[in-house]
Structure 1
Amino acid sequence: MTLPDFEVRFVDKVDAVPSALWDCCFAPPLEGRWWYESLEAAGLDDQFRFFYAILCRDGREVGLAPLFLMDVPIELVMPPALLPTLRLLGRVFPSLLRQRTLFVGSPCADEGTVGFLPGIDRRAALLCFQDALEARAAALGTSMLVWKDMPSGMDEDFAWLAGRRRLFPLVSFPGTEARLPSPRKEDYFAAMKASRRHLFRKKLRRSAQAVKVSVEVVQAPGGEVLDEIFELFWQTYEKAETKFERLNRRFFELLAERTASHFILLREAEGGDLIAFMLCFAVGGRLINKFIGIDYHRPKEWLLYFRLWEAALDWALPRGFTTIQSGQTGYAPKIEMGHALVPLTNHCRHRHPLMHRLYAAIARTVGWHTLDEDLARFLKAHPDATPGA
């Protein structure tokens, strides 16, 4: 096939990308320019370096890929069973334990996105991006290049690309999404499996008996409320087993200024203490459940996660949202509450052929069942849910 002539240029700032390109390539229901501006301004330079690849044809900008550079601890991406072997190898090859990686995507977006103007040959564009990114990775002294958390709708394109450039697929943590069939709460419950519906309602009743809460949805919370929010976020972050990024209060302050951001706050009715929150982004017909925080010092019997989800549901339904996207990890309660699992894949290349073959062999052993215990239990009960089954 004859491929169109493209070229790629790299820029270091969000505002170096034309606004029209952001608007076209990252329109709702995606997190748009405002998301990348917030990341860039949050002071996360100790973890990430952000930049952007612009695809051009005949001097016109026709595509956009957000990028970031990160030194990735190996335990974030490899199955626990393989870590002892890799740590032994790391004594001989220290770079195995912390890979400097050039990512296409965003550190905490729910799926990777590469945006193109209508009519652009996507495969030819991906090939041009790949060649430019390989050259950029070499210039940066980067071992790995990863297209992060790409949706299944691009699998065939990446299989085509892998046949022309050295890439291997690595199964990623799946995303989660709850579909809202109508503005009626009864229809949401009716779409759930009967056993899950019964269990969810039972937990809501038990929680209501254990604690009375008030619910408030706010935009642009003030400094004192933001302090409360971030304190709960940090408590939840510290409790998490999987930590890819370490966010700061400044990031939340920047997000609070965005019109898409809505904070769902649960307070104990008696005393008014903040006991849970959810930061949501309203983008088109999708509500993105982005960050949560829960006061884990409270009794487990309060079942605050389920009350928080109900509050989000009660806010989303009358406003016409058709889906709630709830991100990766924490699968057990999400599955209970009617979320579907959304397959995502990392497409990877190591600069050194021997290490590339080693990582490709390891990647073939990785699946949902190796990434997360909740997923392993779910797949044991529902083997037909395994990707490719």
Structure 2
Amino acid sequence: MKTYMVGGAVRDALLGLPVNDHDWVAVGATPEEMVAAGYTPVGKDFPVFLHPQTKEEVALARTERKSAPGYRGFTVHADPGVTLEEDLMRRDLTINAMARDVDGTLVDPYHGQRDLEAKVLRHVSAAFAEDPVRILRLARFAARFADFSVADETTALMRQMVDAGEVDALVPERVWQELSRGLMEHKPSRMFEVLRSCGALARLLPEVDRLWGVPQPEAHHPEVDTGVHLMLVLDMAAQLNAPLTVRFACLGHDLGKGTTRADELPRHIAHEARSVKLVEAVCERLRVPTDCRELAVTVAREHGNVHRSGELNAAAVMRLLERCDAWRRPQRFAELLLACECDARGRTGLENAPYPQRARLQRALDAALAVDTAAVSADALARGWKGPAIGDAIRNARQAAVAAALAG
């Protein structure tokens, strides 16, 4: 038996990036021999074991054969006769199909090092077409390695996969898994560019795909095109180290602009309400986690009001805070403000523009939260007030605090 380090650990080491996880492949062993050597079996779909000392995963070299549509339709074959080269051939990209021997020797049968140096994402073999998840993975890698290009033949192969309906067989959980990981990469816009280039975005997220070519008023959006604006917003979210909740909310904030009637362009009256419905549909279809869903709906509904909040008085700001459930969910309100800043700065030439609305509204919320509601309630009770009157007293105290904060 021989073991080799494979995949991302080899790639990242060659790129000079930190390596946090190691993947290993064992060649020339049976499951029984692995157990006899002290390895603990953990794999369900194929033989994977934990190393007796390091507890890192070691998989037996294996091949795969397509047996049904979608990413689950594979028959796995693992035995001592499977070579390292055969195992590497089943991998997605050449830059992920390299291995290192325990003595440090690089094993690179598919020229991954050459593609790393040329900064190219290229499929290893025609087997790439058997797993539609690989389109999403490649797009995610494009977001991580933003200066890498996609090989022309790989783009052509992905188009063929989309045309063959392979992408339609993806289950929502895997789409969300890859989408969410891609959103958290260095340059999320690249993921969407790659998905658009092969037609996959129109199948997976038609609500997003239709934004390209939709004009906006140039006075507010120098980039004009709504799809271009969305990509700038996502990259601004990455630049500001926004969490996934904020990045997903940015993705959905303007979906309603894709359904504006032609005779209403380039204005987008009431697009917020349309965006809310479309965001809810996307979340339902992809089974998006609740925290992402709730923030995305709130941002879609309220981002215009936040942008205009410099014109709002204390009473109007109070209504905004109440609609956003800011008393109970102050962290979500802070994320709403961050998403709105990403939206405002995700415009050509305005990337470094100040966004005072965020600080102003945060100051207003902090002041309202600082109100001692127990003391206000006690005072109201002492005056003989009951029920709704006590609630009104608390609201008035909060509004007074908001007014003072806005004036300060």
The TM-score with structure 1 as length reference comes to 0.26
Which one has a larger percent strand, Structure 1 or Structure 2? 1
Larger Rg: 2
Which structure is richer in relative contact order (CA contacts within 8 A, separation 6 or more)?
1
Which one has a larger percent helix, Structure 1 or Structure 2? 2
